C-alpha cells in the first residue's frame, strides 16, 4: 500500500489521462520517539493532526510491519524518514506525506 501511494498512484493517473498534481508534503512535530537506522528511507504510517499552536503534529499508528493492515487503515498520512536520518526525538520535525482527502 505504501509503495502504491508513494510511487504508483501518479503513474496510473497519468496513464488514465488525468493531470496528477504532486502530493503535498508537510513538516510535523513527532509526538513520540522513533527508532531508525541511517542507510535507508522509511515510510511509516501515521496520524496527522493540528497541534494546539496551529502547526502539524504526527504520531505513528503502532506496529509498522508490512502485514499489519490496521496500521494503514488508521493512518491519514505517511511519515517519510530520509535515507541518512537516524532516530527521531519527541517534538522533532519530520516530513509527512498526507493522504488525499485528509481533513485537518
Query: If DSSP codes are grouped into helix, strand and coil, which group holds residue 47?
Result: strand
Domain membership flag for residue 16: no
The answer to whether residue 17 is domain-embedded is no
Give the per-residue pLDDT at 104: 47
Question: How far is the CA of 92 from the CAs of 10, 11, 51, 56, 100, in angstroms?
Answer: 29, 32, 13, 12, 24
Q: Is residue 56 part of a domain?
A: yes
- Grid look-up 496527522 returns 48
pLDDT tens, position by position, 23-67: 789 999 999 999 999 999 999 999 999 999 999 999 999 887 777
5 lies in some domain: no
**pLDDT of the residue at 14:** 87
Find the domain containing 28 and state its range: 24-98
Tell whether 59 is covered by a domain. yes
In a domain, 43, yes or no: yes
Instruction: Map residue 66 onto helix, strand or coil.
Output: coil
pLDDT band at 96; cut points 50, 70, 90: very high
What is the total count of domains within the chain? Answer: 1
Q: What is the pTM of this model?
A: 0.82
11 falls within a domain: no
Whichever domain contains 34, its CATH number is: 2.40.340.10
If 0-12 CB within 10 Å is exposed, 13-18 middle and 19+ buried, where does residue 81 land?
buried
Question: Phi and psi dihedrals of 34, rounded to 5?
Answer: -125, 135
Amino acid at each position: 500500500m505504501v509503495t502504491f501511494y508513494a510511487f504508483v498512484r501518479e503513474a496510473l493517473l497519468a496513464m488514465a489521462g488525468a493531470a496528477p498534481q504532486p502530493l503535498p508534503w508537510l513538516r510535523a512535530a513527532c509526538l513520540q520517539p522513533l527508532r531508525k537506522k541511517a542507510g535507508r528511507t522509511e515510510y511509516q504510517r501515521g496520524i496527522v493532526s493540528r497541534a494546539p499552536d496551529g502547526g502539524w503534529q504526527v504520531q505513528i499508528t503502532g506496529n509498522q510491519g508490512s502485514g499489519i493492515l490496521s496500521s494503514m487503515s488508521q493512518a491519514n498520512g505517511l511519515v517519510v524518514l530520509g535515507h541518512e536520518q537516524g532516530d527521531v526525538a519527541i517534538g522533532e520535525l519530520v516530513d509527512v506525506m498526507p493522504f488525499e482527502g485528509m481533513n485537518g
